[in-house]
Structures are given as C-alpha cells and as structure tokens.
Amino acid sequence: MSKIENQIVDLIAQKKSADIHVQTLGNFQIWRDGEKVSAKEWGRDKTIQLFQFLVTARHRHSLHKEQIVDRLWEDADGKTADQNFKVALHGINKVLEPNRPSRTEPKYILRQGITYQLNLEKIWIDTEAVEKFIALGNQALGDAPDVAIKAYQEAIELYGGIYLPNRLYEDWSSEERERLQILSLGAMITLSELLVEKNPMESIRFAQKALLIDHAWEDAYRVQMEAYLQKGNRPMAIKTYQQCEKVLEEEFGIEPLPETQQLLSKIKGIKAV
C-alpha cells in the first residue's frame, strides 16, 4: 500500500477509535463513546452554540474569552456575558465528560489562562475528516487516480449536507459553510470526471449530488453529459444540456460556455445506434 493509501486507512480508523464524534454536516449530533448525546443532556441552546462556535473556530489558535463572548452574547453586559459563558462552558464539559472527577482538567476543551480551544487530537469532527480526505485525493490525483477516487468517495460520503444547518442565519458560521461547500463541490466534480469512463452511472450520481448543492454549477452538467455519452444515452445527454441552458438563462441570463456547447455538438454529431 502507498503512503497515501495508509493515510486513508488511518483516517477511517480514527473515526472508530475516537471517544467523541461530532457531526456538523447536514445535521448536528454528537456521539460519546458510541452513544448519541440527547438534546436533553445539552440543556440550553447556548451550550450547543458555544460548542459549535469552538468547532467553527478550530483552525485558529486558542480563542480569547472576550472574542467568544463578543460573538455569542453581544447584547449582554460584561458581567452577565461572563456568567453566561461560564454556564455554557460548564454545560459542554458535562456533556463531553459526565464522569470527570472534580478538580481535574477537562480533556476535550483545552484552557490556557482565558483562552479556549478544542482538543482535536481527541475529538473526531466530520468536517476535519472531509478536508483531510479531499487533501489526500488531491495529492493522489496525478499519479494514483484509483487512490484519489477512494479518498474523494470517503469525503463525499461524509458530506451529508450544509454545515450546521441550524445556524444558517448566524454570520459566525457562514464563512465555514461556504468554504466547505466549495471544497466539496470541487471534490464531487473531480470524482465525477475520474469516473466518467470507469463507471459512468457513479459519475452521474456524483454530478447530480453537486447539482443538489448548486443547481447552476455548469461543470456538473457537462460531466454528466459526458457520462451519458459514455453510456450511449444520447437523449439524456441532450436533455442534460437543455436543463443546463435553462438554469443558466434563468439564474444568470447567460448561455452555457463554448466548451459545453461544443460537447453538445459532438453528442448531436454522433449518429444514434
């Protein structure tokens, strides 16, 4: 097995071995030692929100308490906000480590002075895994397309929908949502392209998955046309072009790119069997 293949296997194994699993894509759920944490255990919504905020900010260095409070309790005065933060933090630690002995340091929320961050070595987060699988896919793309396919498939299986859908209207979550969506769209299109000849039906499935995220993503229509062509299904390839043309006109008032139009000409030029 190559180095990248080993890394893929390790990444899959990490999910199984981690004590805490966090799902943020398509839905928000946490599993502690394999058991789903109920809404009742979380208690207040602000406790969940603080945890989600720490997940969202996981790539930054430790967050200063003031930075957190300013975003989550912007309307509260200093003393109240401080108290709310303490309550929510206590709530998180209770959910993640219900049996932690008193006077011991929390294992999953690391604190240094008045800065806080998640311990990513002990918590498995779906978004982290998606990013790592896509990065491995990108690395393997040139020399080992089969390995790249495996990595992208793992990533896309994990992409269950938009990031933290219950925080759609919170601006602190928007940047991460957009970043992950574009990253996943790119992976879906690349995977779809890789599968055109090898497995056109799978190629179509991934292209359609991309269109569920963004129905005006022209690359997804084009690769789908190629896959239908590969299967010898001209009518569906032409129908896909027509859908693309209609959507682009409605959404942007533009025509498909010359590349897509040329593909249509190629499809029309092939005589029906």
Partner 1 sequence: MSVKKDETASFMLRFTQKIFKNDQGEPQVQWRGNIRHVQGGDEKRFSEFDDAVNFIQGKLAEMTIQQMEDKSPEEQKGILSKSFDLWKKMTLNAPKMVMETIKDPKKGVENIQKEFQEVGEAISQKVEETIAQRKVDVDEWRGVSKSDHNSMMELMEKMSNEISALNKKVNKLSKK
Binding residues for partner 1, rule: CB under 8 A, are 168-171, 174-175, 178, 182, 214, 216, 218, 251-254, 257-259
> What is the distance of C-alpha 232 from the center of its chain?
33
Who contacts 65 (Cβ-Cβ below 8 Å, separation ≥6)? 82, 85, 114, 115, 116
Name which of 10 and 251 has its Cβ closer to partner 1.
Answer: 251
Closest distance to partner 1 from the beta carbon of 169 (Å)? 5
Strand duo 63-64 + 109-112: pairing:
unpaired
Closest distance to partner 1 from the beta carbon of 195 (Å)? 23
Closest distance to partner 1 from the beta carbon of 177 (Å)? 8
Name which of 73 and 133 has its Cβ closer to partner 1.
Answer: 73
Burial (0-12, 13-18, 19+ Cβ within 10 Å), 94: middle
Nearest to 73 by CA among 94, 50, 52: 50
Q: Please report how many Cα atoms fall inside a 13 Å half-sphere around the Cα of residue 176, on the Cβ side.
A: 25
Name which of 114 and 254 has its Cβ closer to partner 1.
Answer: 254
Closest distance to partner 1 from the beta carbon of 241 (Å)? 16
Who contacts 3 (Cβ-Cβ below 8 Å, separation ≥6)? none
Closest distance to partner 1 from the beta carbon of 253 (Å)? 4
Name residue 84's amino acid: N
Q: Please report how many Cα atoms fall inside a 13 Å half-sphere around the Cα of residue 135, on the Cβ side.
A: 9
Name which of 66 and 214 has its Cβ closer to partner 1.
Answer: 214
Name which of 114 and 182 has its Cβ closer to partner 1.
Answer: 182
